Amino acid sequence: MVITKKINSLFSVFFSDRNLKNAEKYILYVASLGFIFHLILIFLNNNNLIDISIVDKNLLTNPISALYTPFSFILVYEAFLLVYYIPRSFSTAVSKQYEIMSLIIIRKIFKDIPLVDLNANWLTTSNNLQLIYDLLGILIVFFLIYLFKNAQKKKIKRKESKKLDLFITSKKAISIILTPTLIIICFLSFYSWINGIINETIFDENINYLFFNDFFTLLILADVFILLLSFQYTERYCQIIRNTGFIISTILLRLSFSAEGLTNIALIVAGILFGLLILNIYNLMAQKE
């Protein structure tokens, strides 16, 4: 009981309304400053006032590319919110994962638009095709998230019990551990990016999934741990399959970071679609119990 109270108290401190509002406010400030700074770099680079040739030029030639920077900060904040949502329910945390993936695709679109060649054949130019894949992908992903959230509303609420309270407390402990880990990964990723720029070893694909590559790997481990904890709370077959299915969904999303072009979008759509089907089947089975 003492440990439970301490965990709940610590969670309340970590994720108090004040801290959440402050985090949102500061992220918006930093995102705005980052956007302005990125625009200044583009202006200086296009007018040959500075030489930053060692950096990926695709991000420093077109003002549209400057949107990439504020979206990067917003995505980090969304990752923080995902950690906050973990104790609520497995499906809520998974839904936030899907939202993060949709924002990653949108951010990538802002980076790809300046690369489009309007005079080339759209079906034979890789950059043009990539934009088509991403645009179609975000529409499909957005619709699947809508369906997933609708399926969430249909889930049957279970009566609260001491076991359930202990399970929620355990997930709060995981969120508490993940919070400083998230911050450490964020700084290490930033350091790795800066070091890659200096040594000219960073590539285009590294930038798109910087930080989230490691973050989703961490999420998979956290999801597996939550699944193991859930065995103490429930022995219901449909719930165990649902939670396992969500882990498979997250793994598919993680695999998409290693793919390019149509395969990348296909894996993201497949991951979300798999999670949606698992949730709908779970709802149908739960109604019969």
Instruction: Residue 168: name the closest of 82, 80, 83, 88 by CA.
Output: 88
Tokens representing 149? 């959230």
Query: Which residue reads 């700084």 in tokens?
Result: 187
Q: What is the per-residue burial (b if ≥16 Cβ within 10 Å, else e) of 97-107?
A: bbbbbbbbbbb
Residue 161's pLDDT is 61
d(CA 45, CA 55): 11
Which residues make Cβ contacts (< 8 Å) with residue 115, sequence separation at least 6?
58, 127, 130, 131
Q: Taking the CA of residue 187 as centre, how many other CA atoms within 13 Å lie in the half-sphere pointing to its CB? A: 5
Which residues make Cβ contacts (< 8 Å) with residue 278, sequence separation at least 6?
241, 242, 245, 246, 249
| Residue 154 Cα to chain centre, angstroms | 24
User: What 8-state DSSP symbol labels residue 158?
Assistant: P
Residue 155's pLDDT is 67
∠ CA 98-130-145 to the nearest 5 degrees? 20
d(CA 137, CA 131): 10
Q: For the chain, 289 residues long, give each residue's pLDDT as a single digit of tens.
A: 678 888 888 888 888 888 889 988 999 999 999 899 888 888 887 887 776 555 555 677 788 888 888 888 888 899 989 999 999 888 999 999 999 999 999 988 888 888 888 887 777 788 888 899 999 999 999 999 999 999 988 766 655 566 778 888 889 999 999 988 988 988 887 777 666 655 655 545 556 677 888 888 888 999 898 888 888 776 678 888 999 999 999 999 999 988 888 999 999 999 999 999 999 999 998 887 6
Neighbours of 165 (CB within 10 A): 13
Residue 43's pLDDT is 86
Query: Which residue reads 């990964």 in tokens?
Result: 185
d(CA 45, CA 100): 31
Give this prediction's pTM: 0.86
| Residue 278 Cα to chain centre, angstroms | 20
H helical segments located in the chain? 2-14, 17-46, 68-85, 90-112, 126-153, 162-198, 204-208, 212-233, 237-256, 261-288
